[in-house]
Amino acid sequence: MAGEDRFAAARAAVIDVAPACLLTAMNAAIAILSLSLADSALIRTFGKAALLAVAISYIAVAVVVPTLAVLLVRKEEKTIAHPDDETGGVGVLQRVTDTVVNFSARHPLPLSLFGIAAVVATGWIYSTLEPRYRLADQVPDQEQALAGTARLDKKLTGANPVHVMIELPKAAAKTGQPASLYDEETLNVIAEAHRVLEERAGLGNVWSLDSLRRWLAEAGDTSVETIKRYVSILPEHLVRRFISADERAVLVTARLPDIDASEILPVVDKIDEALEPVRAAHPGYQVSVTGLPAIAARNSATLISELNWGLIGDMFVIFIFLAVALRSVLAGVASVLPSLFPIFATGTLLWAFGEGMQFASIVAITVAFSLAIDSTIHFLNRYHLEEDRLGGGPGGHLEALRQTAHHIGPPVVMTTIILALGLGVTMLSDLPSLRLFGQLTAACLFSSLIAQLIVLPATISLYRQTFPRSHPVPVPHPRQAGP
């Protein structure tokens, strides 16, 4: 309130902050848009919910909070002597951020070069990250189930099933009649697929209808009628694991250990290639490799890469949007380094710990970026207001940066801490992917804070030294003090 009446303070806050809040909401929506367009239904739903949350948040900040401030904030009988004389924790934050930003503004060239070098170095590392996906990361790692899976991986070749699905043709190529499950050709297709998994792919624990056929052959009985009889007396749930109810499709199943999708994909491709002769020898039979590990191996890398490139594309759209919305080339140029650095720095953290780009990683970086860009926009908006108020002139950008840091610095620091603590609660989860989400979000937010207090002021100062303000005419402003 800075000594003002609560009505005037609320009005001034809305005039100063609401436009920037609208910009932050629009930029957050652009950043999250890539999630709402993803191929994954889960990520798509998350993105749509996040877009809705952004809209609700803007309404709350621009309408609800000022209204409640007018209705609930009591009238101050005693006001501070000067609006800048903050005390307590806010005063400490003001002095710290003032010192940091003033130092950055007075040494723009070395700090800007440092920012460029940091973005280039971390960006190169970020570009080397490979997509990774493990099914075990999607289940709690403190439960007995995961320990049991590890024992299965060690003793029984794994717990993750890879299937070869064989769909019978409506008309066999040799007879022209609908193919039957117990036709000689169908049984041969099953046997050949079984051998591919065992011999060509080197997988263990392979099971299919051919397993029963082999067992009966060892006993000296190879008749089809015997196979039919044994299938009829087996438990229904066991039969349905390999044969569909209408007997038009069968599965040949093998087991894989719980390994990364990047290691599973070559195995899946090898199986698919080895099945080509089977498909060629038996036209009409649809033979395909499926199962959750196979599907995840094929789709995860593509989806993660698409989300990653979508985020990078969103960033450059946001830079252009900021320049247009604030009618300032400075805003677009100055926002590049502090926006890229936290994303690339978080990727570098993944690289340092030997991790790759996972679903949780790209979602965390996208969410953190959409939150971190808010502070950049508020900083640029406040600087724009201060520059208009001061009117430019020699050294005017330094005073504008000082005033901006004085009023925006503490809220930026406090917002970062609050968001990091709020999202960091997920680090207590038993779910590895959720823990990773919290860790990366916190890392991205604090990297963004460093960029906003050091790189952003230096970039603005360097830009204004190179391209001074062309119209140094003071513009009346409804309120000198900041939000």
Q: Could you report the per-residue pLDDT of 250-307, keeping only the tens digit for each?
A: 999 988 877 777 788 888 888 899 999 999 988 888 999 988 888 877 777 778 887 8
Average pLDDT score over residue span 432-455: 90
User: What sign does the dihedral 145-146-151-153 (CA atoms) show?
Assistant: positive
| Greater pLDDT, 54 or 84 | 54
Question: Mean pLDDT across the stretch 421-430?
Answer: 85
483 in a structural domain: no
| Same domain membership, residue 172 and residue 281 | yes
**Mean pLDDT across the stretch 349-376?**
84
Average pLDDT over residues 325-333: 83
- pLDDT for 153 equals 66
Looking at the fold, whether 238 and 130 belong to one and the same domain comes out as no
Residues 288, 317: contact at Cβ < 8 Å? no
The total number of structural domains in the chain stands at 2
Extract the tokens encoding 251: 């599965």
- Residue 437 pLDDT more than 80? yes
Q: Is residue 482 part of a domain?
A: no
| Higher pLDDT among residues 280 and 145, named by residue | 280
pLDDT (average), residues 334-353: 90
Q: What is the dihedral of CA 58, 61, 62, 66, to 10 degrees?
A: 170
Is the pLDDT confidence value at 81 over 70? Answer: no
Q: Which residue has the higher pLDDT, 136 or 249?
A: 249
> Are residues 457 and 338 in contact, defined by beta-carbon separation less than 8 angstroms?
no
Dig out the tokens for 221 from the structure.
């009985």
Predicted confidence (pLDDT) at residue 321 exceeds the cutoff of 70: yes
302 and 430 inside one domain:
yes
- 122 contacts 341 by C-beta, under 8 angstroms: yes
Tell me what percent of the residues of the chain surpass a pLDDT of 70. Answer: 86
The amino acid at residue 224 is V
Per-residue pLDDT band at 79 (split at 50, 70, 90): low
| Domain limit, last residue, from 296, 323, 343 | 296
For position 146, what pLDDT does the model report?
63
Task: Give the mean model confidence (pLDDT) for residues 50-65.
Answer: 85
Region 414-432 average pLDDT: 86
**What is the distance between the alpha carbons of residues 183 and 482, in angstroms, rounded to a whole number?**
82
If asked whether residues 153 and 284 sit together in one domain, one would say: yes
78 and 162 fall within a common domain: no
Average pLDDT over residues 343-358: 89
Is residue 261, in this structure, part of any structural domain at all?
yes
Q: Which of 26-35, 179-188, 189-198, 422-431 has the lowest mean pLDDT?
A: 26-35
The closest alpha carbon to 359, from 145, 123, 135, 140, belongs to 135
Query: 312 and 450: one domain?
Result: yes
Q: What is the pLDDT of residue 480?
A: 46
Q: Does 27 lie in the same domain as 156?
A: no
Confidence of residue 478 (pLDDT cuts 50, 70, 90): very low
Residue 473 has pLDDT above 60, yes or no: no
Lowest mean pLDDT among 274-283, 313-322, 457-466: 313-322
- Confirm whether 211 is domain-assigned: yes
Q: Give the pLDDT score at 143.
A: 62
Tell me the pLDDT tens digit for each residue of 66-77: 888 778 776 666
Residue range 94-143, pLDDT digits in tens: 889 889 999 999 999 999 999 999 999 999 999 898 888 777 676 776 66
Region of poorest pLDDT, from 84-98, 176-190, 195-209, 401-415: 84-98
Structural domain for 165, as ranges: 143-296
For CA atoms 109, 111, 113, 115, give the dihedral sign.
Answer: negative
> Helical H runs in 275-352?
276-281, 292-325, 329-334, 336-352
What average pLDDT is seen over the chain? 82
Any domain includes 476: no
Sign (positive/negative) of CA torsion 41, 43, 46, 52? negative
How does residue 161 score in pLDDT terms, banded at 50, 70 and 90?
confident
* φ and ψ of 163, to 5 deg: -110, 145
Indicate if 132 and 178 belong to the same structural domain: no
Section 450-465 average pLDDT: 91
Within a 10 A sphere around the Cβ of 120, how many other Cβ atoms? 11
Q: Is 310 a domain residue?
A: yes
